[in-house]
A and B are shown apart, each in its own frame.
Chain A
Amino acid sequence: MSSPVSTRTDAAVTISISRDPALVRTVRLVAAAVARRVDADEALIEEIRFSVGEACAVMIGTGENDSASDGHVDVRITTDDHLTVTVSGRADGTDANMGEMGLDPWALLRGLSDNVTVEDADGRTTLRMSWPV
């Protein structure tokens, strides 16, 4: 029997969602699917799924603040020797309770990975995180 041929190729997936909290789960599912495609182990798939969901959650918020309801959030996932996720949008979703605890809105993501950068420009926040795969 011949050895299986690797089907792994570099890939890019881009998703743009409206600021609807119900759509964050869809983004999490896509991120997990892309991570599976590059043969990430289950622990890494879970970390990527969590991180992408968390990033979108902070960008979007629960929708209880009317002023945060317009616009969209863009998510781009690329794979080469790293799986890189870029999430950009207006970061209006910082939960007041977390803020009152003195926590940075990105505290969870920064705690999970050293490879997290956040940039603010022209009223939009761009968060980038990557994992070797």
Chain B
Amino acid sequence: MDLSLETRQQNDRTIIEVGGEIDVYTAPKLRECITGLVDEGHKDLIIDLEKVEFMDSTGLGVLVGGLKRVRTHEGSLELVCTQERLLKIFRITGLGKVFAIHGSQAEATAQ
């Protein structure tokens, strides 16, 4: 499965719903999406990974790059993820402490 990206605005947050596989082939598309949004002034992002079926370290790198990018604009990048196989790779790399990871979009937007 390829990568799907759906973006919508909720109050002052921009939600990116990601589906499919974030791997070495598709990750650049996610990076372009994040970069484009930040360049348009959307600096508070929530990336929903609930429909992601696969993510490798390239995907993690894109998320880290996105986090750095929004921080330079005094923005935020938070994640929605409850899938154990994805949470595991955040834990292994220590990135679980770097990202705010929420259990639902409602929880993320309530912050």
Interfacial residues, chain A to chain B (CB-CB below 8 A): 21-22, 24-25, 28, 46, 49-50, 53-54, 56-58, 60-62, 64, 93, 95-98, 100-101, 103, 105, 107-108, 111-112
Interfacial residues, chain B to chain A (CB-CB below 8 A): 21, 23-25, 27-28, 54, 56-58, 60-62, 64-65, 68, 85, 89, 92-95, 98
Q: Do the beta carbons of A24 and B25 come within 8 Å of each other?
A: yes
- Whole-angstrom distance between the alpha carbons of A111 and B68 in the complex? 24
- Across the interface, name the chain A residue whose C-beta is closest to B27: A62
Residues of B close to A58: CB separation below 8 A: 57
Q: Do the beta carbons of B23 and A25 come within 8 Å of each other?
A: yes
Residues of B close to A22: CB separation below 8 A: 25
Q: List 14 A-B contacts (CB under 8 A).
A: A25-B25, A28-B54, A46-B85, A50-B54, A60-B24, A62-B28, A62-B58, A95-B58, A97-B62, A97-B64, A97-B65, A107-B57, A107-B93, A108-B57
- Whole-angstrom distance between the alpha carbons of A22 and B12 in the complex? 36
Residues of B close to A105: CB separation below 8 A: 57
Residues of A close to B25: CB separation below 8 A: 21-22, 24-25, 62
Q: Do the beta carbons of A98 and B56 come within 8 Å of each other?
A: no
Query: Which has the most chain B C-beta neighbours within 10 Å: A21, A97, A98, A105?
Result: A97
